[in-house]
Amino acid sequence: MVEYSEAEHATWRAVHAALAGAHREFACRAVLEAGEAAPIPADHVPQHAEVGAALRRLTGFDLTLAGGFVENRRFLGSMEDGYFHAVQFVRHPAIPLYTPEPDVIHDVFGHGIHLSSNRFADLYRLFGRTAARLGTGEALDLLSRVYWFTLEFGVMAEDGAVKAYGAALLSSYGELGRLDRCEIRELDVREMIRTHYRVSGYQPVLFDARSMEYLTDTLADFLEGFDDEEAARLAAIASAGDRS
């Protein structure tokens, strides 16, 4: 159990108040529906056990502790068995509405919302099954890039506006407010593999999934046939035509 300070609880409350309104304005319908059941208290930083118990009831997922960087095989592969590696530290109170690295706010407001919905949880398991059968680091790197541009930084158009569904966007008030300044490209998994991304800082390029159904169908079609051989072929194409 983590003993959070009053300053950390205050940071949580400030972010909760800001993101509640931002989600209503900038999050897609599937996220708003998932958020209704998500275990996100307004007044305190929740313990992993508190969040995990609720997720188990909703989708069978649970949180497992990530003490720091988790390599791709372990991070993605654990999702097949319903575990998501999450951290417990809280971002610095001086910048409560943005952090360049994942923290408990990111994991709960982003992935916690996702994993409260079977529609999203099934996609996490799909990434997990795919990771479990890959044998090369190169293939896992390409898989993580698709994960990055979808479940972390994905958007979809609804009612003529760009709406967020990616976990990293959902936990960043600053990024939600600047979606209209990003370059929005049509969802294309092979294009994602060729596109560079920023590990820290705002993402300049996002991919529009059109709808939750289109996202699910596109990822299933690609990931169910993705293996080491296909990864090697796509890596060769990507190296010949990387995009920024």
pTM recorded for the entire structure: 0.94
- Strand pairing partners for 157? 162
The residue written with tokens 């407001």 in the block is 109
Q: Which entry of 16, 23, 85, 111 is annotated as an active-site residue?
A: 111
- Other C-beta atoms lying within 10 Å of the C-beta of residue 234: 18
- At 197, is the secondary structure helix, strand, or coil? coil
117 part of the active site: no
Listed in sequence order, the residues at least 6 apart from 89 whose beta carbon sits closer than 8 Å to its beta carbon are 103, 104
pLDDT given for residue 198 in this prediction: 76
pLDDT given for residue 99 in this prediction: 78
Q: Which entry of 106, 117, 172, 175 is annotated as an active-site residue?
A: 106
CA angle 65, 222, 168 (to 5 degrees): 40
Distance CA 181, CA 157 (A): 15
152 part of the active site: yes
pLDDT given for residue 47 in this prediction: 97
Q: Which entry of 78, 117, 171, 172 is annotated as an active-site residue?
A: 171
Q: What is the pLDDT along the chain (244 residues), one digit of tens a residue?
A: 899 999 999 999 999 999 999 999 999 999 999 999 999 999 999 999 999 999 999 999 999 999 777 999 999 999 999 999 999 999 988 888 877 788 999 999 999 999 999 999 999 999 999 999 999 999 999 999 999 999 999 999 999 999 999 999 999 999 999 999 999 999 999 999 988 887 777 899 999 999 999 999 999 999 999 999 999 999 887 776 555 5
The residue written with tokens 């930083």 in the block is 45
**In terms of DSSP H, where are the helices of 79-196?**
104-106, 113-114, 118-133, 137-147, 167-170, 173-176, 189-194
pLDDT given for residue 244 in this prediction: 53
Q: Which entry of 23, 117, 152, 172 is annotated as an active-site residue?
A: 152
106 part of the active site: yes
Look up residue 153 and give its DSSP letter.
Answer: T
Q: Output the six-digit token pair for 230.
A: 């296909």
Distance CA 208, CA 187 (A): 5
144 part of the active site: no
| CA 218 to chain CA mean position, Å | 17
pLDDT given for residue 98 in this prediction: 77
Look up residue 152 and give its DSSP letter.
Answer: I
pLDDT given for residue 201 in this prediction: 78
